Structure 1
Amino acid sequence: MPLLTNRWRPLLPVALLLLIPGISAAEEEPIVKNVLYVIADDLKASVLGCYGHPLCETPNIDRLAEHGTRFTRAYCQAPVCAPSRPSIMFGRYGRRNIDHAKHKSFPQVLKENGWYSARVSKIYHMRVPGDIVEGTNGGDHAASWTERFNSPGKEESTPGLYQCLNINDIKRDLDDRQGARTKNRAYVAVIDESDGSDQPDAKTAAKAIELLREHKDEPFVLAVGFVRPHYPHVAPEPYFGRYPIEKIRMPKRLADDWDDIPRSGISSSNSQANGLARYPDNQKRMWSAYEASVSFMDDQLGKVLAELDRLGLRDSTAVIFTSDHGYHLGEHDFWQKANLHEEATRVPLIVSIPGLRPGVSDAPVELVDLYPTVMQLVGLDVPKQCHGKSLLPILENHDATTRDYAFSYDGRRKMPTQFAIRGKRWAYMQYPDGEELYDMQRDPEQFTNLAGDASHASVLDQCRSKLAEKKKIMLGQ
């Protein structure tokens, strides 16, 4: 029998615990009894108050960061929803490397060990707005859950002021709005004329609260998926009112910015291609709508966290908050995701563990690291399938590191052809038609590609070598 109770076990580092007689890696008592995993959709780290944004209001995420560990260099493995989400859940690089016959998701493992496991809304891939409007499961993994719940909504058909900003179509008429599978759906915002209680994220928060109340007395893993700020950017009018375009400051852009970027590295969703170049004020409205959606989502998260506190569950629950990938809002004249630059690959990651002190980590980490982290927190062995590394050493010591570089890849193909690594100083991208190298200390906005600079040849060789190691893991070599 272990000698420590759950009350005191979180206060001691794992290394010390393993020196105590009677406690082994497999037998140590778990740090937590419950896991609340929250994932936002298309949320870039740099828009949040706790990550330094001067305008966007995210008090609940910020408060969670004050009580947990905020990772400043967390990166998704694929800057696209469909491959990123199963990568997180199965702890593996690449869709082709996930075999449901032999690999298990982390909620599935917990469920098979007696935990109640539930998802609310989008955890694996769902088409937004398609599956949200239809109330369907999308690309879910049923074996992960004891129960699963969807949060349908009207999305672009929400009554209110509709704006398709790249074609400057602004109206209240419900006819001919850009929705699922339409060309311009990514540039749609709707100022909801109601109080927002019928929005998908409001329904998700309400169901999560209901499940917390029902299962508070048993071990649970509750996965809560908020669909905002994924397009269409829908939120009640007061949220839009916080962000008038007069307050919006667009990202710095250079006239010759694309000259040193390989063709493959230039986003197809750019201001010239999508039409936003014709409407400078609408570019600011894109920011306004995105920030309104973020603040609305933040308020829904706040309701769930408040209930966790009210039920007295915070002392036994690990809270993980992240996003599936980042997002471009005019940086380099790029919009949306699906490329390997910083705004698309960097994600917010906040992990709050009872008994562990809060702080900030600048260590490069990956979203596949969440799976082994959860396994260690609950006292289970980490499956060999995991490509990630547990974050527990960093959670216990914010100066610790577990890897030199974080790995990302183009997720639009089952066999990626574009790859990136990100360390504390260097960001490197590799394409079939070229490379990019950025000194993130001197050039955090990635304007000067150093890949062709002979004085950086040794750094380039080191990055190529590190990337080759990651590709071998991904390809199973």
Structure 2
Amino acid sequence: MSKKNILVIMSDEHSNKLLSCYGHPLAKTPHLDALAARGCRFSSAYSNSPICLPARAAFATGKHVHETRYWDNAHPYEGAVDSWGHVIRREGVRSASVGKLHYRNETDDVGFDEQILPMHVVGGQGDVLGSVRDELPRRMRCKSLADNIGPGESTYTEYDRNITRLSCNWLQENATDGPWVLYVGLVAPHFPLIAPQQFYDLYADLDIALPKMYADDDRPDHQWLQQWRNCWIHNEFFTEDKVKIALKSYLGLCSFMDDNVGQILQALEATGVAADTQIIYTSDHGDNLGARGLWGKSTFFEEAVAIPTIIAGEGVAPGTVCDTPVALTDVAATIVKEAGADIPDGWAGESLWDIAAADYDPQRTVFGEYHAAGAISGAFMLRKGRYKYIYYVGFEPQLFDLQVDPEELTDVAGMAEHQPLLAEFEAELRKICDPEAVDRLAKSDQKKLVDANGGREEVVAKGGFGATPAPGTQAEYS
């Protein structure tokens, strides 16, 4: 198999609902739209775990979270499990990263030949508060999400500008010396929801509607989600005016990120090797953005777990859309195969190029799981055909028919006619893992970590720090 150059661009917290090419009526994302027009857009792409570290570990290793035990934002990837970088290195393909990785540190061998301006977890440890699962704490740092909104600059927007500049420089200096894989980790549109003035102004005068199911009476009444809300208390600090400013800021950050993507793609074109380069755009997870009164990620609603995924290059029919469900583990498998290596045994994914070239597969199942902050028990997702099934350890499941209810307004799990389907989904889940056993294992690992950091009371008293700070800045706990 021939080796190809591969450019992978991963943003952070970009819901697939917030791109023009995915149908958003307001979002201005011309560069990603153009990429989709000359490639393939995956309409049903998912994070394997809707929070940073577990999602990025699945992307790195091609394996599910319960297989690697990178459970939450205090269990960062450190290279102990082979990554796609390790696999392609053995095939003689070099790789470099620029920007956010969110692994343990810069010195671990995670498969890259060089890391340029990387962002890793705080202190090599990350968010230990998220490992407190026995009685969920109220995360007071959530207030900063409502406070830090509107037009302006942040350390994150400055960081993204530097990532873009350094990525363009790397291409100018290295692109003709292939084969290579360049991973670019942009931070936008991750909070703080502060968008550069130029991009905030694209939306400043629009009449933005409140998110769907935002009113208290409209929100889903599910006990697992109620526990989640008691921990992630973002919405307690929002007024309706702040909600609208935050949504405009997120849109502005999406356009800012799109502009950075455009600069990187332009730099690739200038090297003369664009025709020999396969391009992948994706994100680690999405953002609830106030829908159902939820903010941030950490749920299996489409806003938080569905991600944009676009591929372009040799072997991709322009302007196509693939409806077969895919996930970040497929992105890992894709990098390996397009770089000329065999996908390792035991990996969960397949090549996106192969999936895009095949007919729609209504039987292909995408799997996700969540064991991190806000989860009183493990949550597991299966997306197959028209349905999404969510299993909560100790709580009632949810079932959504995305064909007739793409906005997930109606949970049909309680309807008598769907009981056989629920049984089929649970049986399929149990072929992948024992959810109760996985829940116990995750909580055991997390308790050991909490105990090693002084115990529950000390960890909760220290608090959380919100978003991981950009390189050169310090975390602030509350």
CA distance in 2, matches of 1:295, 1:101: 33
* Structure 1, 140-149 or 61-70: larger mean CA deviation: 140-149
Q: Is structure 2 residue 361 aligned with structure 1 residue 401? A: yes
Query: Contact conserved, 1:71 with 1:360, CA < 8 A, in 2?
Result: yes
1:51 aligns with 2:11: no
Matching residue of 2:334: 373
Counterpart in the other structure of 1:7? none
Matched, 1:438 2:400: yes
The answer to whether the aligner puts 1:142 opposite 2:109 as a matched pair is yes
- How many angstroms does 1:213 deviate by? 1.5
**Per-residue Cα deviation, 1:237-293 (whole angstroms, up to 9, x for no partner):** 12111112643122322654345423346642799763245x101101110111111
AA at the equivalent of 2:403? Q
Alignment of 1:15-414 (within 5 A): 29-30=1-2, 32-94=3-65, 97=68, 103-125=81-103, 138=105, 141-150=108-117, 182-187=141-146, 188-189=148-149, 191-192=151-152, 199-216=158-175, 217-244=177-204, 246-253=206-213, 255-264=216-225, 267-268=228-229, 274-277=235-238, 279-358=239-318, 359-397=320-358, 399-401=359-361, 404-412=364-372
Using the TM superposition, give the Cα deviation of residue 38 of structure 1 relative to its aligned residue in structure 2, in angstroms. 0.7
5+ unaligned residues in a row in structure 1: which ranges? 1-28, 126-136, 153-179
Q: Secondary structure at the match of 2:388?
A: strand
Q: Are the equivalent residues in 2 in contact too, given 1:365–1:403 (CA < 8 A)?
A: no
Give the TM-score normalised by the residue count of structure 1.
0.78
- 1:266-325 CA deviation, whole Å, 9 max, x = no partner? 642799763245x10110111011111111111011000011112122211111110001
Q: Which moved more, 1:36-45 or 1:240-249?
A: 240-249
1:119 Cα shift? 0.6
- CA gap of 1:248–1:234, structure 2 versus 1, over 3 A, is same
Q: 2: distance between equivalents of 1:248 and 1:269?
A: 27
Task: Specify whether residues 143 and 402 from structure 1 end up closer, same or farther in structure 2 by C-alpha distance, changes over 3 A only.
Answer: farther
Contact 1:83–1:95, Cα closer than 8 Å, also in 2: no
Contact 1:260 1:449 survives alignment (8 Å): no
SS of the equivalent of 1:461 reads: helix
| Amino acid of the structure 2 residue aligned with 1:114 | G
**1:295/1:282 Cα in 2 relative to 1: closer, same or farther (>3 Å)?**
same
Within the candidate set 456, 465, 470, 2:427 is matched to 465
For these two proteins, the number of residue pairs brought into alignment is 405
Amino acid at match of 1:332: R
1:395–1:451 distance in 2 versus 1, CA, 3 Å: closer
Q: Within the alignment, does 1:454 sit opposite 2:416 as a pair?
A: yes
Alpha-carbon distance in 2 for matches of 1:197, 1:183? 18
Larger Rg: 1
**Residue aligning to 2:133:** none
Checking the alignment, whether the CA contact within 8 Å between 1:84 and 1:411 is kept in structure 2 is: no
Q: Per-residue deviation at 1:101?
A: 7.2
Residue ranges of structure 2 left out of the alignment (5+ in a row): 70-76, 120-138, 439-478
Match of 2:455 in 1: none
- One-letter code of the match for 1:299? D
Q: Deviations over 1:42-93 (max 9, x none)?
A: 1100000110011111101111111111000011110000110011110010
Opposite residue 328 of structure 1, the aligned amino acid is N
RMSD of aligned residue pairs (Cα, Å): 3.0
- Paired with 1:198 and 1:264, the residues of 2 have a C-alpha distance of 32
Shift of 1:401: 2.9
Question: Aligned to 1:224, what secondary structure does the other structure show?
Answer: strand
One-letter amino acid of the counterpart of residue 313, structure 1: V
Does the CA-based 8 Å contact 1:234-1:289 persist in structure 2?
Answer: yes
Q: Distance in 2 between matches of 1:103 and 1:263?
A: 32
